[in-house]
């Protein structure tokens, strides 16, 4: 399923390296991931989420507070996947929480988790060696054409061209995005003003995809002070807010929050 990011030829595993017929060679790291992000596609020294964000996200997701999101995405994958042993690609997998859950939803899946943040992929390796963990960019997926049954973008970016290229005909792209009310109680504390928004799932190229499902979900959950801090640190809000507003939030010993999200599925035509 994997292709060389330099020449596009198939990669085969040879001992502890992936190698293509043009002898481009990519070594497996000690943790078990492979870096398929060529330097020319790396637009900063440490692209993607920071180690601090990833560590906070790992701790928060491990509390199970977002398990209803996980359940919805797993059910959507089961609903639209036509095979019991799918090839799954989770793009922007971060530290791998949803990737692991998706792989576990099927008896016998072949799952790949891709992220541009090397620290995320390194961390994700601890979620299992049965998943292929890859450092790569969503804009140049090192994955063969028409080879994948399910592509997921969990709170991550969606690339019409690349996702449609790697999906089989009839395969499904599943996307989860925050809805308007997501963490609204937290936003009201950390921002001086919360502007009204109406977040909806983005429509994709109708020559490539047909929307087969789009549903908004929400639930309430409680966080303690440490979980609240992790929640703040795992999101981009942290870099946008004033220090005094951050302190105001972190004074809460407990807070009830709303999780609101859209799950959409688009079938590859
Ligand atoms: C909001 S996080 C979501 C992570 C994970 N899906 C989750 O929900 O826990 C978005 C992820 O996309 C990754 N990312 C950003 N740009 C990317 C790109 N061009 N290619 C691949 N991953 C990217 C970030 O490093 C980050 O891990």
Q: What is the pLDDT of residues 1-31, one digit of tens each?
A: 899 999 999 999 999 999 999 999 999 999 9
Say yes or no: CB of residue 163 within 6 Å of ligand 1: no
> For the chain, how far is it from start to end, CA to CA, in angstroms?
20
d(CA 140, CA 201): 23
Domains of the chain (ranges plus CATH)?
44-268 (3.40.50.150)
pLDDT score of 42 more than 90: no
Q: What is the pLDDT of residues 145-159, one digit of tens each?
A: 999 999 999 999 999
Atom 10 in ligand 1: which residue has the minimum CA distance?
Answer: 156
* pLDDT for position 82: 85
Say yes or no: CB of residue 92 within 6 Å of ligand 1: yes
d(CA 113, CA 6): 20
Q: What is the pLDDT of residues 214-267, one digit of tens each?
A: 999 999 999 999 999 999 999 989 999 999 999 999 999 999 999 999 999 999
> Distances in Å between the alpha carbon of 147 and those of 53, 84, 112, 129, 130?
32, 15, 12, 21, 18
Nearest to 132 by CA among 148, 155, 146, 145: 148
Q: What is the pLDDT of residues 159-212, one digit of tens each?
A: 999 999 999 999 999 999 999 999 999 999 999 999 888 899 999 999 999 999
**Interval between CA 220 and ligand 1 midpoint (Å):** 25
d(CA 151, CA 173): 5
Query: Quick check: helix, strand or coil at residue 134?
Result: strand
Say yes or no: CB of residue 177 within 6 Å of ligand 1: no
**Both tokens assigned to 70:** 């996980």
d(CA 263, CA 261): 7
């Amino acid at each position: 399923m994997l292709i060389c990011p330099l020449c596009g030829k198939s990669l085969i595993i040879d001992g502890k390296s992936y190698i293509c017929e043009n002898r481009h060679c990519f070594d497996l790291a000690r943790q078990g991931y492979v870096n398929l992000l060529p330097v020319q596609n790396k637009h900063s020294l440490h692209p993607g989420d920071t180690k601090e964000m990833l560590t906070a996200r790992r701790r928060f997701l491990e509390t199970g507070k977002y398990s209803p999101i996980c359940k919805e995405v797993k059910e959507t994958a089961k609903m639209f996947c036509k095979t019991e042993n799918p090839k799954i690609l989770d793009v922007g997998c971060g530290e791998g929480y949803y990737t692991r859950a998706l792989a576990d939803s099927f008896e016998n899946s072949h799952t790949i988790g891709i992220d541009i943040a090397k620290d995320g992929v390194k961390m994700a390796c601890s979620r299992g060696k049965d998943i292929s963990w890859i450092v790569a960019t969503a804009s140049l997926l090192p994955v063969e054409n028409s080879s994948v049954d399910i592509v997921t973008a969990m709170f991550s970016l969606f690339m019409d061209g690349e996702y449609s290229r790697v999906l089989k005909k009839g395969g499904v792209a599943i996307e989860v995005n925050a809805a308007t009310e997501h963490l609204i109680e937290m936003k009201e504390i950390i921002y001086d003003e919360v502007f009204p928004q109406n977040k909806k799932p983005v429509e994709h190229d109708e020559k490539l995809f047909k929307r087969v499902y789009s549903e908004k979900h929400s639930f309430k959950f409680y966080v303690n002070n440490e979980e609240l801090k992790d929640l703040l640190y795992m999101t981009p809000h942290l870099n946008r807010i004033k220090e005094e507003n951050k302190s105001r939030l972190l004074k809460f010993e407990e807070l009830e929050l709303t999780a609101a999200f859209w799950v959409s599925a688009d079938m590859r035509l």
